[in-house]
Amino acid sequence: MNRIWLKNYPSGIPADIDPDQFRSIPDLLESLFSKFADRPAYHNLGCSIDYSHLERLSRAFAAFLQDLPGMARGDRVAIMAPNLLQYPVALFGILRAGMTVVNVNPLYTPRELEHQLKDSGAKAIVIVENFAAALQQVLSRTSVEHVISTQVGDLLPIPNRWLVNFVIKRVKKMVPDWHIDGAVSFREALQRGMATSLKPVELQREDIAFLQYTGGTTGVAKGAMLTHRNILANLEQTGVWISGSFQEGAEIIIAPLPMYHIFCLTSTLSFMKWGSLIVLISNPRDLPALVKELGRWKFTAMTGVNTLFNGLLNTPGFDQLDFSALKVVVGGGAAVQKPVAERWQQVTGSCLTEAYGLTETSPGVCALPLGSPWDGSIGLPVSSTEVSIRNEDFQELPVWTGEGDIEKCTGEICIRGPQVMKGYWNNPVETARVLQDGWLKTGDIGHLDSEGRVTMTDRKKDMILVSGFNVYPNEVESVVAAHPGVLECAVVGVPDEKSGEAVKVVVVRKDPQLTKESVIEHCRGQLTGYKLPRHVEFRDALIKTPIGKVLRRELRDAPKE
């Protein structure tokens, strides 16, 4: 196809990248471990580990996994943890063992955790003990055979380790009581791995590296099969886009987004290609603490979501930080709002670069050129990526020239490139629905202009984006509908200054005494915090089509009856 966006590529950005420089992610990692051995790799809670130390620890963890009974090449291993030094050690260890990573949100309720573990068929899990009580409730109903538990401070030096673990467990009481027979501590796993050898694994580019879970309009979470080639391609695609001014071994990256999120996962791997130091933020919601941490570094790059940037701009002391070394700030996960982008540039002197992607695309698809001000678009397709706007019959629509009826140029954004997933795990029906002739049908609506810029105007899906995290209406509806006082309900997203969007549930009462507080409390034990309804509205009836389908958009936009 005619890639009209190439004419507006910044200098030095290639039209295409080579996705086959490495056979697998471990091949890339081993080259980085060797090249940057003495450089610091990750920092968290006041402690850093260098690339050589990361190599030794991840090798030990890989050897431990290989030595576990019943574990084999390709088996799924889950990680349920916030941003700690243990995360990259476990992540790279799983990949080096020839196994597949299943990233799990540590805030999942037992119901959500059970679904993901059962669907993925995970045979082992690495879990921070703060969340082990949830695992204990569902473990017997999953295929998990091996549990590796870790305390927050486990990779910190003594006495910091003892102090952090004591405060979290005994002072702040952040670890609910739990007991899982046969659970192995992370430190013991490393010791056992150090005593054995890592067996070489011949991985292929099309082997699955990650089962990265996303949802859908059905409300059923699906595992996107991301191959080694998918990830390696996107590391190169996004890397060449953002790294024009990078210097090897000199970059300091702030990573406040959780590593279980595809955006942070891939961006941190991309930054590693430059031998960067990545500062992992364990709790980005504590904005004063985050500002204090930022003050310790002359950081050169940062990733985040609109809500985080907006929060920082409104946190005392942020505008007093030293931004003189800042080169790149990338916003993804949700749309960057114009007032936030403009104020960010005013305060920091650095443009906030908007990027667009999906779990199914590893995730990077489009981005504004570095240094470009906010323009309402999601930018240009990155190297080796094709974007096509298609109608309901999958016919390509014309580009928008600035004249005529823009609706005739508006349709579903479809993506083709080496970063597009292999398909959904054990879900051929959903795979066939979104993959057609090599194209991924994103479910997002937009248009392509004559300069090659892509603008997303709506979502075909009813997904709600809360602080960059997906919330699927049917999942929330199924929980609300189970309340004995609810006759019918529908869930929509509504604008929210803090989180971009918030969950709103419209309820038709069965019990006239049903209250907003009762609905929210019912949801609290079954839904992660960001999925909880922030607004509850009661109506006499829902707005529906003649065949009974709820019209979400009309419900969202209509005045309260």
pLDDT tens for 99-137 read: 999 999 998 999 999 999 999 999 999 999 999 999 999
Give the Cα separation of 474 and 405 in Å (integer).
Answer: 34
Residue of 394 and 470 predicted with greater confidence: 394
Mean local confidence (pLDDT), 498-505: 92
Dump strand ranges (E) for 398-449: 411-416, 423-424, 435-436, 439-448
Mean local confidence (pLDDT), 189-197: 98
**Which pLDDT does position 218 carry in this prediction?**
42
> Residues 79, 103: contact at Cβ < 8 Å?
yes
> Around 101, how many Cα atoms within 13 Å sit in the side-chain half-sphere?
31
Find the range with the poorest average confidence among 95-104, 246-255, 393-402, 496-505: 496-505
Give the Cα separation of 192 and 61 in Å (integer).
Answer: 8
**Which pLDDT does position 220 carry in this prediction?**
67
Q: Name 537's Cβ contacts closer than 8 Å, sequence gap at least 6.
A: 504, 505, 506, 507, 560
In a 10 Å sphere around its CB, with 0-12 CB exposed, 13-18 middle and 19+ buried, how is residue 140 labelled? exposed
Mean local confidence (pLDDT), 60-83: 98
Give the Cα separation of 477 and 389 in Å (integer).
Answer: 31
pTM greater than 0.85: yes
**Which pLDDT does position 376 carry in this prediction?**
87
Residue of 280 and 405 predicted with greater confidence: 280
Residue of 462 and 354 predicted with greater confidence: 354
Mean local confidence (pLDDT), 502-525: 95
Helix axis angle, 473-481 relative to 516-524, nearest 10°? 110
pLDDT in tens, 368-412: 999 999 898 999 999 999 999 999 999 999 999 998 888 899 999
pLDDT in tens, 426-456: 999 999 999 999 999 999 989 999 999 999 8
Give the Cα separation of 30 and 272 in Å (integer).
Answer: 12
Task: Give percent above pLDDT 90 in the chain.
Answer: 83
> Residues 28, 137: contact at Cβ < 8 Å?
no
* pLDDT value at 239 more than 60: yes
Q: Where are the domains of the chain?
A: 49-203, 464-557
In a 10 Å sphere around its CB, with 0-12 CB exposed, 13-18 middle and 19+ buried, how is residue 297 labelled? middle
Find the range with the poorest average confidence among 288-297, 362-371, 458-467: 458-467
> Residues 355, 414: contact at Cβ < 8 Å?
no
Give the Cα separation of 16 and 174 in Å (integer).
Answer: 48
- Indicate the CATH number for domain 49-203: 3.40.50.980
Give the Cα separation of 258 and 278 in Å (integer).
Answer: 13
**Which pLDDT does position 217 carry in this prediction?**
36
In this structure, what are the phi and psi dihedrals at residue 483, rounded to the nearest 5 degrees? Answer: -70, 130
* pLDDT value at 561 more than 70: no
Distances (CA, A) of 294 to 227, 284, 332, 431: 34, 11, 20, 42
Average pLDDT value for the chain: 93
**Which pLDDT does position 430 carry in this prediction?**
94
Nearest to 389 by CA among 451, 332, 454: 454
> Residues 160, 46: contact at Cβ < 8 Å?
yes
pLDDT in tens, 356-366: 999 999 999 99
- Indicate the CATH number for domain 464-557: 3.30.300.30
Find the range with the poorest average confidence among 80-84, 201-205, 469-473: 469-473
